A and B are shown apart, each in its own frame.
Chain A
Amino acid sequence: MEQTVLTPQKSPPKISRLTLLRNRLFGSARDSVLSVILLLIIATFGWIAIDWLLIGAVGPWGDRDACAAAAGACWPFLVEKHRLILFGTYPWDEQWRPLVASLLLLGGVGASMVPRWQDARLIWLWVGLSIAFTVLMRGGVPGLDYVQPERWNGLPVLLMLSIFGLVFAFPLGIVLALARHQDQLPAVRAIAVMWIELVRGVPMIMVLFLGLFVLPLMMPDDITLNPLITTMIALVIFHSAYFAESIRGGLQTVPMGQYEAADSQGLNWLQKTRLIILPQAIKVAMPGILNTVLGAYKDTSLVVIIGIHDIMATAKMSFSDPVWQRYGLEAYLFVGAWFLATCWCLSAYSRWLERRTS
């Protein structure tokens, strides 16, 4: 015989936050000792950071000589060098162009994040943005002087490589995932499997080197490829494989009944895929996709190895100036703050998206 003991319903006891904290941190003698030690360590490091960042630092509008004497950070360094870090050697008087181009790309990303707008219009948005970005950066049209790609540095290069790389890799990833997730066309499937497994089997650096050195060899003699373009092609190839695997994971969760239901409605393959299968698959695959996006965005800085000057490389340039060469930490903090802010936005978006769909 089983017996169920019914306990009277009780509302959880109201505990103030302070009590909760005290119970958790100083519940027992051992906990108290550990908490005190940890708090001391945190306080020490916190104090060192505050001392360096604020108390011992030279304010943004101070001068360079004050920095040499100060023990803390040298913020005048960033006031002096922020344009170099953001835009590198792009001609000084024309630097509104990379600024506008970067804002356009960021705006495009913002617009693409709005779920209501995620349809065929995005294709036109990104085609339009790539043309606008190229015209702005490159110039050579009436009113805009030509600027050779060697002078494209810093933020626009980071955004161009990461955003365009991901935007073009995404559709390619869908095609690869669909090709791998079917068995009517074994040859196409084999190609997709080879593509994905080859790319996932080598490090990104190798794909970058392939793009820089091998891709130009495969071009006809009279076409010289700009290193930025070859790098972007390499990044698209690389990211597409990871997207494909995320999306294929989503495809596998779509039950057979959905395919059959679509077939019974008389939809052709394209309609079925576009209207029934992919929306469900992508919804499931979203966390994986955003994970790839975050990783890919941060990995873009690796292009410095093949001589492309993204924001990490321009930060390095900024403290190579002989009179400012002590302030590398400030430069890296600036870049770190940028990556932290943008990555935080992306992960906040992914959390919001998950709450919204669940």
Chain B
Amino acid sequence: MKVRFVLPAAFAVLAGLSTQVQAGPVMDQIKTDDSLVCLVNTNSPGFSVPDSQGVYQGFNTDFCRMAAAAILGDANKADIRGIGFSDSMKTIVAEGAHIASRSITRTGTRDANPGMRFVATTFYDGQGFMIPKKLGVASAADLNGATVCAEEGSTTLLNIADWFGDRGIEYRVENIADKSARLQAFFSGKCDVMASDRTALSSDRLLAENPGDYTILPEVISNEPLTILSRPDASLETAIYWAFQVMLNAEAMGITSENVDAIMADLENQPKGIVRLLSAESAAGEMAQQIGLPADWSYQVIKQVGNYAEVYERHLGTETTFGMDRSGTVNALSKDGGLLYPDPIR
């Protein structure tokens, strides 16, 4: 019986040798299975939520699709699995999935775990506070004596304790586990302040009867770099990291999923940078050969998923219910004052 499994593997190794590609075992497994298992959150509005057909959609989900488009040439070959309580990091370490795009904060102790690798930070979030405007408070430092609504058992409470404790601010916590009940308590005035990640706050604010009555304070009291997690495998990590860089570069160069076909058709007359990004004869092709990707990987990522701005605007931007204006935030490109710095593809 074993022969059935050994033979394809042997062929894969032979095929690999002939083109001098040395992919890692996880990368090989993805290609043999022709499917990339990607973990997402089961219920995180804007980031990953099943649509009416039960298919996960959202910002994080699109990075699963990005990886599948780059490695397998087809974004739909991402096997996106919602994972609940059982920790996605544990699943990665136990080799139960290939990557996780699940708003996982990259921290020192997590990164020290040899069973997993943080690859590319797709979103910079941070914990903040929402208050009713009528409270007349301009800064979180003025919140002395306030009642704070926060999620039970989350790091949110620890961050609040640290931040308020350092400043000697007195506060009281209203500990409510259920999100709907927590929001109800906040909107009805049972607590003065709602604490959570700022992205969550901006979507929660829209659930108020008059969203204009509420505001999010400028203080960001924690750093939450939300990062794609991968199994340790040099070629898989490289592929994901550079697929993400392709999306950033495409945005910087103004290439979108809409116009990429026109640009490809007229590639000779394009600026050198675009040629390097898209041409199989240039930097992109060279990288494809060395990492073991399809020659048109960068084109497929842009065509099937889009550039970073498209993904952001599709799920979180001003046109969506979240209405999170990206300009001027840390999630803008570095040339616009943000933290997203497109590494050169050459």
Residue numbers of A with Cβ under 8 A of B are 80-81, 83-84, 87-92, 95, 148, 150-151, 153, 212, 227, 305-309, 313, 316-317, 320-323, 325-326, 328
Q: Which of A91, A148, A322 has the most CB of B within 10 A?
A: A322
**Cβ-neighbour of A322 out of B85, B86, B180, B320 (below 8 A):** B320
Tell me whether A80 and B321 are in contact (CB under 8 A).
Answer: no
Given A307-B83, A325-B203, 13 more pairs with CB closer than 8 A: A84-B52, A89-B54, A92-B55, A150-B83, A151-B81, A153-B54, A307-B86, A309-B42, A316-B43, A317-B50, A321-B50, A322-B45, A322-B49
Complex contact B84–A308 (CB within 8 A): yes
Inter-chain contact B54/A321, CB cutoff 8 Å: no
| B50 with A84: CB separation less than 8 A | yes
Name which residue of chain A comes closest to B86, CB basis: A307
List 28 A–B pairs whose Cβ atoms lie within 8 Å, in order of A's numbering: A80-B52, A83-B53, A84-B50, A84-B52, A87-B54, A88-B54, A89-B54, A89-B55, A89-B56, A90-B54, A92-B54, A95-B54, A307-B42, A307-B85, A307-B86, A309-B42, A317-B43, A320-B43, A320-B45, A321-B45, A321-B52, A322-B320, A323-B321, A325-B203, A325-B206, A325-B207, A325-B321, A328-B180
Binary contact readout B82-94 vs A (1 if CB under 8 angstroms, 0 otherwise) = 1111100000000
Q: Which residues of B contact A317 (CB under 8 A)?
A: 42-43, 49-50
Q: How many residues of B contact A (CB 8 A)?
A: 26
Which A residues are CB-close (under 8 A) to B81?
148, 150-151
Closest residue on chain A to residue B51 by CB atoms: A321
A227 partner residues in chain B, CB cutoff 8 A: 86
The residue in B44, B54, B86 that gathers the most chain A C-beta atoms within 10 A of its C-beta is: B54
* B residues near A95, Cβ cutoff 8 Å: 54
**Is A322 touching B46 in the complex (CB atoms < 8 A)?**
yes
- The answer to whether the Cβ of B187 comes within 8 Å of any Cβ in the partner chain is no
Q: Which residues of B contact A89 (CB under 8 A)?
A: 50, 54-56, 82
**Bound Cα distance A92, B52 (Å):** 9
Report if B322 contacts A (CB, 8 A).
Answer: yes
Chain A contacts for B54, CB-based, 8 A: 83-84, 87-92, 95, 153
Which residues from A are CB-within-8-Å of B207? 325-326
User: Which of A89, A148, A309 is the most central at the interface, judged by chain B CB atoms within 10 Å of its CB?
Assistant: A89
Bound form: Cα–Cα A138–B45 in Å? 28
Residues of B within 8 A of A84 (CB): 50-54
Task: Flag if B52 contacts A320 (CB, 8 Å).
Answer: no
Q: How far, in angstroms, from A307 to B180 measured CA to CA in the complex?
A: 18
Asked whether A321 and B55 contact (CB < 8 A) given A148-B81, A307-B85, the answer is: no
The 4 closest A-B pairs by CB, nearest first: A307-B84, A307-B85, A89-B54, A322-B321
Expressed in whole angstroms, the Cα–Cα distance for A323 and B321 within the complex equals 7
Bound-complex Cα distance A148 to B322 (A): 32
Cα–Cα distance between A307 and B81 once the two chains are bound (Å): 13
Distance of A316 from chain B, by nearest CB (Å): 6
Among the interface residues B43, B44, B46, B207, which one has the most CB atoms of the partner chain A within 10 A?
B43
Question: Complex formed: what's the CA distance from A84 to B85 in Å?
Answer: 20
Cα(A328)–Cα(B183), bound, Å: 12
